[in-house]
Amino acid sequence: MDNAGNNLKEHMALLPKTAVDLVELIGSGSALLLIKAFGGYSFVLNSNGLKVSDYVKIADIVGSNNAAKIRQYIKHKFKDKCGYKFYIPKCGFILDLIEPSEPKQGFTYLEEMKPYLSGIALDLYSMFGAVGFERFINAFGGKRIKIPCVGNSERYQKIKELVGEKIAIDFCTMYKGERLYIPTCSLLTTKIKHHQIVREYEQAIKQGKTSDIAIYSISQRYNLSDRQLVKILNSVVI
């Protein structure tokens, strides 16, 4: 984790402001743990800032000393903002850069499903790879979108965030100006997600997390209830 934490620090220029604050506050290694556990989740604040129950959850991930620092940071930055949501950024593209093997483990199942892809879905998979394909479909599936030119447009920046700069340049250069219908691939992406969830759970247990903590952090990341996540864990055979 020390190497990964150092790599996170090397990519500070690419991180959103909250992530930078966390790195400076509790160190890159602990910030990485927090982002991996709660990235994409918002903590709803009360009149005292961070709720006790949320403080305990954060302490389970980064330790009580670091949790106390985060509580003070929130209390100072969001004073008198009861009901405000403190959002932990996902930083998904950065996590892929610094720990490429871990996020991709769950997508090996897509390789088995590749023969069932056709048309634009197969083209996107061939260009983006498993990780980029899943992210792109999640973001744009079921929509007809106009492919932007390479530049500073909001849509181009979104595509770059999803698939990486080099691939985004190639994709937008090839399809610029075209209106592409992006298929949902709903059955495929659901199966991929379920296998990813199981592998993330197994990885969390191997890292020494309790089953409850693993289920909580993964369920928050995927916006599922604990019951839904347990049902997925019991239904998927790897």
Q: Is the pLDDT of residue 108 over 80?
A: no
- Report how far residue 23's alpha carbon sits from residue 138's, in angstroms, rounded to the nearest whole number: 28
Average pLDDT, the chain: 80
- SS3 for 99? coil
pLDDT recorded at residue 94:
57
CA distance to 87, 112, 141, 151, per residue, from 234 (Å): 30, 21, 28, 45
Which residue in 57, 2, 67, 64 sits closest to 32, CA to CA? 2
Copy the structure tokens of residue 170: 């190639």
Structure tokens at 229: 């996540």
pLDDT for res 102? 39
- Confidence class for position 146, pLDDT limits 50, 70, 90: very high
The pTM assigned to this predicted structure is: 0.42
pLDDT in the model for residue 184: 85
Alpha-carbon distance 171 to 178, whole Å? Answer: 11
Q: Cα separation of 157 and 164, whole Å?
A: 10
The three-class DSSP label of residue 218 is helix
User: For residues 238 and 195, is the Cβ–Cβ distance under 8 A?
Assistant: yes
pLDDT in tens, 149-168: 998 899 999 999 998 899 99
- In whole angstroms, give the CA distance from residue 189 to residue 171: 21
Query: And the tokens for 134?
Result: 């899943």
Backbone phi, then psi, for 236, in 5-degree steps? -95, 130
Q: Which of 1-10, 35-44, 103-112, 221-230 has the highest mean pLDDT?
A: 221-230
Average pLDDT over residues 214-231: 88
State the virtual CA torsion across 152, 176, 11, 42 in degrees, nearest 10. 80
Q: How confident is the model at residue 92 (pLDDT cuts 50, 70, 90)?
A: low
Does position 39 have pLDDT exceeding 50, yes or no?
A: yes
> In this predicted model, what pLDDT tens digit does every residue of 61-87 receive, in sequence order?
888 888 889 999 988 887 776 778 888
Confidence of residue 104 (pLDDT cuts 50, 70, 90): very low
Query: Over the stretch 10-32, which tens digit does the pLDDT of each residue have?
Result: 566 667 788 888 888 888 888 88
Q: How far does the chain reach from its first CA to its final CA, in angstroms?
A: 26
Measured CA distances, 83 to 80, 128, 131, 169, 214 (Å): 9, 39, 35, 41, 26
